[in-house]
A and B are shown apart, each in its own frame.
Chain A
């Protein structure tokens, strides 16, 4: 069984979040920094449920990963616009500073990394699957952790890379390596990968299995299914691989 910290169940209350800052990460992705009175704190990798209420009382609810480190005062969510979605188009296109909605959390205690767990840390992301992994990297930086970490991150195009500048800055600590792969289109002179994440790429970019890397994979279903299977074939320990699958239904 993957080891997991078990905490006593507590009631998870709905709380009011107020939008304090909006960051355009990519043409389809925005981050919302929120004030949540009485936020109980979270661990990197956890999620929240978001509930929107229309004037006539109609409600819609979805689950989103937390992007911010626990050390940051404001809770940050990063949301990708799903065209057919109901909640994500509102959060990416409509919402303005000062707007309010409800959320509750933190939810999930399995897909979680805290600095005291150590490493090395191998993070594998596809698209907006980067979000909970970014919380881990932000936590690693805020906690001044010297854990060796590698991020393998697949995006469609250069413009679709979320947190690109911040990842570059985090990698300057010399202990974090960031490897991008672009599956649809690569800019001239691109030095990263130019195909989907496959077994060879995982072998080249990842840690040697003997180092027992703590591995987190988050992205679309196929990427996670295949990636986890390849890592097992390469000799990674099943108990140290944690997965979270994102689909368009996260909308």
Chain B
């Protein structure tokens, strides 16, 4: 593409203290935690909550909330990047890593190369399995030391912080392994299938 036009008189804020190696292209830092969701926030009672691992339509393992809370817990401190251009540094999360989840289901290795995460409210998102392993992702149930608030995806959300945050599906209730990479909710509406913020993969074709 040709050179972008200069926006006359635009200087920008150029906030100092924004470490360039932590803020991907086109992003800016925020200190609050904006909420973006496509519909009403679901409120599933914990006694009805379950988390399911499936291979195709075959159920591999299902946990109740009480069982899920007993799985090994992992803490991570990480930066998050929303496709709507905000980034937030040093957020603290706690939950069950996908590695531990697979181990608890008795899986020595994932049965297929892709997953679709599905959620209360009908939201879905697709991911390659390798982006979930080796500590790269978790099912998060706590944020900054407290139970995850419902508007931020509580009781549990997928957390895949190295990809744009729509991949970190709120109100997650299950992961289904798939042989092929099939678009989820936003991906079918023109968002990028993979969503790497460092390559600015916001929309299809980026």
Instruction: Decide: B190 and A12 in contact? CB cutoff 8 A.
Output: yes
List residues of chain A with CB within 8 A of the CB of B13. Answer: 60, 86
* Closest residue on chain B to residue A4 by CB atoms: B189
Instruction: Decide: B205 and A245 in contact? CB cutoff 8 A.
Output: no
Given contacts A53-B4, A54-B6, A61-B26, contact A242 B11 (CB under 8 A): no
List residues of chain B with CB within 8 A of the CB of A52. Answer: 7, 10, 12
Provide a sorted-by-A list of 27 A–B residue pairs whose CB atoms are within 8 angstroms. A10-B204, A12-B203, A12-B204, A13-B1, A51-B4, A52-B12, A54-B11, A54-B12, A55-B6, A59-B12, A63-B84, A86-B13, A90-B9, A90-B10, A99-B7, A102-B4, A109-B189, A109-B190, A110-B189, A225-B151, A229-B43, A238-B39, A239-B122, A243-B39, A245-B34, A250-B34, A250-B84
Instruction: Decide: B40 and A238 in contact? CB cutoff 8 A.
Output: yes
Given contacts A12-B190, A54-B11, A60-B12, contact A111 B38 (CB under 8 A): yes
- B1: which of A14, A55, A90 is its contact (CB, 8 Å)? A14
Assess whether B107 is interfacial by the CB under 8 Å rule.
Answer: no
SS class of chain A's interface: helix, strand, loop or mixed? Answer: mixed
List residues of chain B with CB within 8 A of the CB of A247. Answer: 32, 34-35
1/0 per position for B143-180, CB-CB distance to A under 8 A?
Answer: 00000000100000000000000000000000000000
Assess whether B66 is interfacial by the CB under 8 Å rule.
Answer: no
Which among B1, B37, B39, B43 has the greatest number of chain A C-beta atoms within 10 A? B39
Assess whether A165 is interfacial by the CB under 8 Å rule.
Answer: no
Assess whether A249 is interfacial by the CB under 8 Å rule.
Answer: yes
Contact surface of A with B, Cβ cutoff 8 Å: 1-2, 4, 6-7, 9-14, 16, 49, 51-55, 58-63, 86, 90, 94-96, 99-102, 107-111, 221, 224-225, 228-229, 231-232, 238-239, 241-245, 247-250
- How distant is the Cα of A28 from the Cα of B35 in the complex, in angstroms? 23
- How distant is the Cα of A228 from the Cα of B86 in the complex, in angstroms? 24
A-B contact sample (6 more), CB < 8 A, given A53-B6, A60-B12, A243-B39: A10-B190, A12-B204, A58-B11, A63-B85, A100-B7, A109-B189
1/0 per position for B28-49, CB-CB distance to A under 8 A?
Answer: 1010101111111101000000
Instruction: Decide: A59 and B189 in contact? CB cutoff 8 A.
Output: no
